[in-house]
Structure formats: C-alpha cells, structure tokens
Structure 1
Amino acid sequence: MPDHPLPLTRRHFVAASASLSGLLLLAGPAGAATPEIPANQNGETAMTSGYVTTPDGTQIFYKDWGPKEAQPIMFHHGWPLSADDWDAQMLFFLSKGYRVVAHDRRGHGRSSQVSTGHDMDHYAADAAAVVHHLDLTNAVHIGHSTGGGEVARYVARHGQPEGRVAAAVLVSAVPPLMLKTEANPEGTPMAVFDGFRSALAANRAQFFLDVASGPFYGFNRPGAEVSQGVITNWWRQGMMGAALAHYEGIKAFSETDQTEDLKAITVPMLVIQGDDDQVVPYKDAMVKQHALLVNSQMKIYPGFPHGMLTTHADVTNPDLLAFVTQA
C-alpha cells in the first residue's frame, strides 16, 4: 500500500458516485424515516445479553435492549429461527422508547442444544424463566408463527396468573391447532408435516433454503421482490440451531391443541395475518383465534405472506405500535 493518497481521477469520481448512488437506493426511498435510538447521559444505548438456566439445566440466550424503567415488549420467534428474526421490530420499538427483549428457543440459535423439552409446555416455561430473570412486568408479548403458540401458552399458564402481562399479539400464529383431525377438518394433513420431517432429515440445509426462498416470504409468487439477504439470514438462523430440536419442533407447532389456552386468555389481544400465508392458513389460524379469545382485535393483510413482519415491516410495525400504546 502506498503511504500517500492516490490521485482522484474523473473516472474514480464517477465510479465512486455511482457506487454511492447504488447504496442510497438500497438503503430505501428518499425521505424515509431513520429510527432515533435513545441514549443515556453517556451517549450509550442500554444493551445487554446473557443466559438464563432453566430448572432442567437448559441455557436460554436472551437480549435485552433499552431503558429498564420502560414498558417491556418481549418477542417470541418462529420455527426454526432465533431472536435475530426480530431485528426490524426491536430497533423500531427501541426508537419509540420501549424496552425490548427477545430470546432463542431451546435448541435454537444460541441456546442449549438439548435433547429434551421440545414441546409447547417447555417453550412457555423457558420464556417464563427469562421473564423472571429480567423481572418483566406490564409486558406486551408478541409471537410469530410457533412463537405465537409459545405466547398463548405462556400468557395462559404463566404470565396472566402472575399478573405480568399487559397484552399480547399473535402474528401468523399456529394456534389453535394446525393438524387436520376429525375435530379440526380444516387443518393441514399429517402428510404435509411428515414431508417437512423427511426433507429436514434428508438435507436440512437445502430444505431451509427452499422454505426461505419460496413460501415463507412469498418469494415464489409471480412478481415478488426477492431479497437474497432475507433468504440468507433465514437460512443462517435456522442452521445455527440443532437439527433434532427442529425435527421435534415440527410436532410441537403442528399437533399441539391450544384451544383451551386461547379461551383462558383475558388480557387484550391482537391477532394479525396475511391472507396469502402459505405456511399457516389464516382461516384455520387467525380467524379461529379471534373467535376463541374473549378480548381480541383482528386484522387481515391482503396479499401478505407468512413472513410479513420482515417483508412488510413498514406496514406492520406501526400497526403493532398502535396496539401496544393502548396496552
């Protein structure tokens, strides 16, 4: 490397200008709001992470951002992802002055790759362990997909009886029951979930790539604006976790009947989903959730996919904020 700057020619300037223009286009439309992250008197944002050890010895990773005195919002991720799937929501709500918390489900992300407890009861108990460790009160819990099932069981069996929950949101969530049964004829046939298990066992890396690049974000729809970064990030999160946890998690999200959980919840609830969800059919999910809950609002998003919190965060985040401010 030379110890003096190279001369800037007109060709260099044009090339640099073109590169900068490209980056600005990628960053978003002109005039788009940039979140202002609150800082303390030292100019720092409160940001911590750590682990909680559950009674069965499982270590659950969590991250905790924002002022400790602010109302907390706790996020519960979908299968087979991690707390990182909530980046767009955590940054957004942090900029609005909230305390935001997210954790990796057991066997997922940075949490312990344990051989047991891959069921909704343990998922909810693990979430409760994080809540107790951080002493979260008056919290709003937001769950996506499998995380919605986790939220429903947590609120019904842990948070609500302890008086720690102000409200909750189910986004493209799996309750009350995904599996087709005699009592749930509108559900998804077992053969579909057996196909998930077979594909995961045969080649998990390819299966996860296929899910992320296809139905999860609706990237398989004609005219879809495909983001390779979003696909790669989904794949990255999935491959961080344990294959066994993901394999057994399919049973947890598809075969757990949470009808009684939903009936037991009395705190204010918001249930939202896109009508082009190719993973969790909205008529067997959101519509039934709203019918079973005693205190809920429902909103459907025309054309939105299962992963709408990522693809349409500019629409869903303000709607979530509007509900949270009422809690």
Structure 2
Amino acid sequence: MTSTHIDVSAIDFDTLGAWMDGQGLPGGPITDVAPVLGGTQNMMVRLERGGRPYILRRPPLHARQRSNDVLRREARLLAALRDTPVPAPVLVAAQTAEEPVFYLMEPVDGFNPSVGLPEPHASDPAIRHRMGFEAAAALAELGRVDPGALPGFGRPEGFLERQVPRWLKELDSYGALDGYPGPDIPGLHETAEWLTRRLPRSFTPGIMHGDYHFANLMFACDGPRVAAIVDWEMCTIGDPLLDLGWLLATWPVSNGHVPGLPSPQELVAYYAALSERDLSAIGWYAVMACFKLGIVLEGTHARAFAGKAPKDIGDLLHATTLELFERAREFMDGVLD
C-alpha cells in the first residue's frame, strides 16, 4: 500500500453539505476534515458533521478514465453487504447518478497490520495466531453471500476458463513498451500449461473481493477479529476460491508484520470447516493467484524499462514476480495436500 498526497481543495464542501441535507443526515458545518492516506488511487477524506464522523470516498482531482465506474461498483457492493455478517465498511449514502461519483461510509474502528501491531496484539501470540483464522473466516462469510444480490455485476459464466488466456494476453501487451525485452520469468509457460490442464470443471459463483490479502484487512483494536475488509476496487462475481488462493499466494512466508500466523495448510482446513465449497482443487487456485499477481506486478517492471515507473520499484516487483512463480511451483508440487 502506498500513500499519496490528497488535495482536499478539490472537494466542494458546500455542495457536499447540501447533498447530505438531502439524504436526511445531521446538519451543521463540516469540520475536522483530514485526508486518509494509503492503498488506493481514489481519495478518502475523514470529516465530521452534526456530531457524526464519516469517510468520504471520491475520485482524485484528475480522475482516471474508470474512476467513477469503479466507485459506482464499490458503492453498489457495499450496499449489498450492508445487511450481511460480512465485515465491510458500512455505507451511509452514495451519489452515483452524476460524476464525480462519491459515497460516505462510517469510519472503521480498527488497524491495518501492515503498518504495525498495537497492544494487545503485539505481545499476545495467541491473538496473532487467531488473526490468520479470522482472515479466513471473513472470507468464508463473503463466499456465503448470494451473488443474486448484485445482478449483472460480473461475468461468472466461463470465469475460470478466461483466466489463463486473459493474463497471458496482458503479459503480451507489455511488449508494446519501449525497451522492455520481454518477460524473463522461469516457469511461466509450464505454470500456464499446468493451470490449463488442471482447470476445475465447475464452481459455484459468488462475490469476490479480487485482492484479498493482509494489507486490505483492518482488525479490531481489542482482539483478533477482522473489523473490515477494505479496498473493493477489484470486486466482481466469480469464483470465491480464487480469493482464498490469493490469500495463500500472498501469505507472509516468514509471517512478516504478524509473527506466529497459522500455516497455509491450517488456513485451508479452517476455511473448509466454515464453507460448503469443494476445496479439493485449492492448489489450483493458489497457483492461479501466483500466476495472475506475478503478471500484474511484471507490468510495473515493463513500464520501468520505458521510463514510466521508477527502476528500483520495477526491479523490486520483478523479484516479487519471480518469488510468486517459485511459490506457484511449491503449490503445483502439492505443498497444500
């Protein structure tokens, strides 16, 4: 997660206040405005009005082409999750009819472990161990939500079949960048062939987060519970087991910021006990996640050759890509069995 400078002068607070009045929210001056940094290319700003705190989420001043569409999807997704047990930010109100699209949500009372552990987590190994299981439990809860709550939200038909061709095509597209010599990724084609050969025959569609890992989780300040899954920019209707694969692909090998987490095998067993989904091919999903994430990160490496990203960042992410394909090899060899 990277922090970016947020220019709150882009926000017309008079217009925002009038819109909030129309939503029946508490009135008065908007106060205590402060940017929320980290992890997203959209703006997040904390504010208070009428004694109530909010987080405002909206596109940046110079919006990307799809910024408003992404926020529409996020707001629709959060509305669908509002009355479920899934730990997610609570949507208060959304303006999706005009651009810029924006929405208000309740602040999450929690912390992100990628920036450090508070007490009691820092000194209690039992809490840290349990945090891993709670990450799996929150994901299982998301996988139980009826995707019928979001008609037309994704294209679950053929979702798994599309994955390998889709990401190989993405990798090929990097060849258009000046100076990029092409992917030097040992095991690339072997991994693609393995995934194609072992494609699961069927799956039960469900809501996917799309980027499920520790940096996109906030934990309760008083214990191991997941307070909220955040950053829903990649959400869709697909195969929720790919989210579990993503968690396994990104699982801290040396436990990173959270020492004493459960093993990947324990994680799978815990999820299996909470879900009716068939986990017999979970190795495939973990390999697929390594494959996809590795190709995504290689894009920055390619852009660095063309001078469109810092060389040190490109080199670092290329090294991460190589590690992901090494981890894919371990999953292909049955490390989860």
Note whether the superposition's TM-score is higher than 0.5: no
Q: Compute the TM-score of the two structures, normalised by the length of structure 1.
A: 0.30
Q: Compute the TM-score of the two structures, normalised by the length of structure 2.
A: 0.29
